Structure 1
Amino acid sequence: MAEYREEVEKYLSEVFAKPVRLVRILPMGAEPGEKELKGFGYGKPYAVDYIVEGEMRSSVLSSMKVQKGFGHDTFADRASAILWQNMAFNTLPNHVRSLDAGFFTKYGGLKSAGEADEFFILMDRVGGLEYYRDLDRIRDTHFFHPLDVDRALALSDYLAYIHSQKHDEPVLYHRRIRELVGSGECIMGLVDSYPKDFKFYSESDFERMEQKCVEWRWKLHDKVHRLCVVHGDFHPWNIMFRNGVDFTVLDRSRGEYGEPADDVSCMSMNYLFYSLQKYGELKGEYKDLFERFIENYLIKSGDFDMVKYMPPFYVFRALVVASPLWYPGLKPEIRVKLFNFIDNVLDADEFDYKNADQYLKK
């Protein structure tokens, strides 16, 4: 154990170029009084408490889980993602800061380059509660507060702000749209993760859906002027709220630039998904949040054309929440409506957010 602590202290001292004294390392979410960690496991986040120049500091050290699929199949895939996050987290407003990227050696050390076995990232630790807890509370307690509307509007304002930063690089826009359809993390990768005996959507259904997504790729292909700064995975588990509308975003993904419809569809899909769980349709508080979030974005950004480009991004996000891998306990009737949604939005010329419930019907 002493040698292990020395390795961590040595690494942190190199990061800060100052002597560091390690206080403790615990798995994130550990209960009070839980014993200190004796070794790292890949794919898990850890809280690291330490003292530097007399100041007590706390960071999060996290590596990527070794898994097959979703574009994280190889060591190189995971290394690329970690190295990109170390840079990109620090260029997005309100995102948790990255302090360093490094890797574990085969012998348990924490080093830089050369002997890499798996990479990790060291980030600032931020306070707050994940936004999904607000959506859980609305679903489970029926308590809906004006702050819920304020937070949805604040998130919409944030997207309008970061998306206002455009980028002129057509090849990059083409890549992001291509990856939406064909990447291991996106539509085709998600399709491959569904079980062979999935009874709600057949292989021929998936094939037909993929063909329509390819058609959408070409509909978006020349919209290169839309390329802008994006988050890339803007969902309620990646947002930490504190008091009021003060928040920090986490885990930016898949590139600094992309199509703004990606972020808008990602968050709004969750309002629809929670409404399905509570009501079996889009109504009530979630319908209010869904429509206000999108409408506020359109007004603040001036991008009223976005509704023409949202359908394939909604397919991506619907495949996530309909997945038996991510949501094994989902009611069958909800899965059916999510695949109705997928089929219907793919056939729409543009997304009618004021009447989104129509897409849930057969």
Structure 2
Amino acid sequence: MAIMGMILSGGLESLERYFREVYGPNAEVLRVLEIPSGKERSGMDLKGFGYGIPYLIEVSVNGEIKKVVLETIRPEGFGHEHFSDRAQILLWQHSAFNNLPKHVRSIDVGAFTARGTLKSLGDCREFFIITEFVDGKPYYLDLEAIKARGELSNLDVERCLALSNYLVEVHSVKGVGLEPLYIRRARELIGHGECIMGLIDSYPPGLEYADEGTLMEIERKCIEWRWRLKKKAYRCARVHGDFHPWNILFREGTDFTVLDRSRGEWGEPADDLAAMTINYLFYSLQAYGEIKDPFKRL
């Protein structure tokens, strides 16, 4: 995976604006040095800020010289591939460093913006996302209706085909060169808090249908499957990641929108297919205690 430098628009002036946000209007950047080489960066030369290269920055604040280190994380392996992975680590470090005796102090946590400026995030507590609003009814309501009437309509078949064609289009983009992300996806499928082990840990103790021995055996088999899937990394493709009936809104006919793409852009195409079709199995079992039409046809 290529390592790219961050474009810092305005060079030293942009850096100085950021430190005035942190330290106040009298902050002045004196010099910027690469660590450990000691190479000085100045002016527009700051456009080459690199991932994973720490910088010693000297800042004058009301006559007092402060020395701080600006550090980023390299996006290579170890679960650091996505910028959200790196954000998670740095946000946690900022919240935790100052709670441990004798630990180096965190001054702020920030981000490079798309405009090439720096933004302070140190006083953030929770993050939010704003998306467009779309009308529609969740697809699970279709499955509820099928269960109630016991048969498929023509529209049910058309919508199922529309979803199938959509996945064909999505999965047609192959992740050539992104095989490590496929392996990561399989690893996180087992150990991530939103995935298998997280769900297992959410079960209360004492369930008759899910005793400790059964759950441990499920985890063992999942680990065995992870080693089998690692050999399938050539299948890496673009995925949705959470393709189930509650994340699909249908409008008239076969017009639909998908919601809440999750856990990375690349992975196993069959994961999307299984996330949808297992719901057909669930609804059939709820209605009939076995896998049969009309859900079997879907």
TM-score category (smaller protein): 0.5 to 0.7
Q: Quote the residue 2:244 is aligned against.
A: 235
CA distance in 2, matches of 1:248, 1:130: 10
Contact 1:137 1:143 in 2 (8 A): no
For residues 121-142 of structure 1, what are the alpha-carbon distances to aligned partners after superposition, in whole Å with 9 as ceiling and x for unaligned? 1110001111011001111233
Q: Which amino acid aligns with 2:164?
A: S
Please tell me whether residue 156 in structure 1 is matched to residue 164 in structure 2.
yes
Tell me the distance in 2 between the aligned counterparts of 1:135 and 1:170.
35
Q: RMSD over aligned Cα, in angstroms?
A: 2.2
Q: Deviations over 1:163-203 (max 9, x none)?
A: 11011222211110111111111111111111111110211
Q: Which amino acid aligns with 1:230?
A: V
Matched residue of 1:240: which SS? Answer: strand
Alignment partner of 1:203 is 2:212 = yes
Aligned position for 2:256? 247
In 2, Cα distance between equivalents of 1:264 and 1:210: 22
Match of 1:270 in 2: 279
Structure-to-structure mapping, 1:21-100, within 5 angstroms: 80=88
Q: Which has the higher helix share?
A: 1
Amino acid at match of 1:132: Y
Deviates more, 1:139-148 or 1:241-250: 139-148
Provide the rounded CA distance (Å) in 2 between the counterparts of 1:198 and 1:207.
Answer: 14
1:130 to 2:173 alignment: no
Q: Which runs of 5+ in 1 are unaligned?
A: 1-75, 81-110, 290-362
In the TM superposition, residue 284 of structure 1 has moved relative to its aligned partner by: 1.3
**TM-score, with normalisation over the residues of structure 2?**
0.59
* Aligned residue type for 2:174: K
Q: Take 2:247 and 2:218, find their aligned partners in 1: how far apart are those partners? A: 28
Instruction: Say whether the 8 Å CA contact 1:233–1:252 is kept in structure 2.
Output: yes
**1:1-362 map, 5 Å:** 80=88, 113-142=121-150, 144-167=152-175, 168-289=177-298
**Letter aligned with residue 133 of structure 2:** R
Answer yes or no: is the 8 Å Cα contact 2:238–2:265 preserved in 1: yes
- Residues 172/194 of structure 1: CA separation in 2 closer, same or farther (3 Å cut): same
For 1:123, what is the secondary structure of its paired residue? coil
Residue 108 of structure 2 aligns with which residue?
none
Q: Structure 1 counterpart of 2:211, which letter?
A: S
Q: SS of the counterpart of 2:174?
A: coil
2:190 aligned partner, one-letter code? V
- What one-letter code is carried by the residue in structure 2 that aligns with 1:268? T
Within 1, Cα distance between the matches of 2:268 and 2:123?
37
Cα deviation, residue 143, structure 1: 5.2
AA aligned opposite 2:288: Y
| SS of 2:129 mapped into structure 1 | strand
Report the Cα distance in structure 2 between the residues aligned to 1:174 and 1:213, rounded to whole angstroms. Answer: 14
- Are the equivalent residues in 1 in contact too, given 2:241–2:262 (CA < 8 A)? yes
Q: What secondary structure, in the 3-state scheme, does the structure 2 residue paired with 1:122 have?
A: coil
Task: Percent identity, please.
Answer: 57
Aligned residue identity for 1:131: Y
2:170 maps to amino acid? I
Taking the aligned partners of 1:211 and 1:137, their CA distance within structure 2 comes to 38
Q: What is the CA distance between 1:155 and its match in structure 2?
A: 0.5
Which amino acid letter does the alignment assign opposite residue 192 of structure 1? D
SS of residue matched to 1:200:
coil
- In structure 2, C-alpha distance between the alignment counterparts of 1:205 and 1:130, rounded to whole Å: 33
TM-score w.r.t. the length of structure 1 is: 0.49
Unpaired segments ≥5 residues, structure 2: 1-83, 89-118
> Deviation of residue 114 (structure 1)?
3.4
- Using a 3 Å threshold, how does the CA distance of structure 1 residues 222 and 143 change in structure 2: closer, same or farther? closer
Alignment: residue pair count:
185
User: Which residue number corresponds to residue 61 of structure 2?
Assistant: none
Task: Tell me how far apart the structure 1 counterparts of residues 257 and 179 of structure 2 sit (CA, whole Å).
Answer: 30
Cα distance per residue 1:228-271 (max 9 Å; x no partner): 11000000010011111111000000001111111000000000
Deviation track 1:209-234 (CA, whole Å, cap 9, x = no partner) reads 11111110011112111111100000
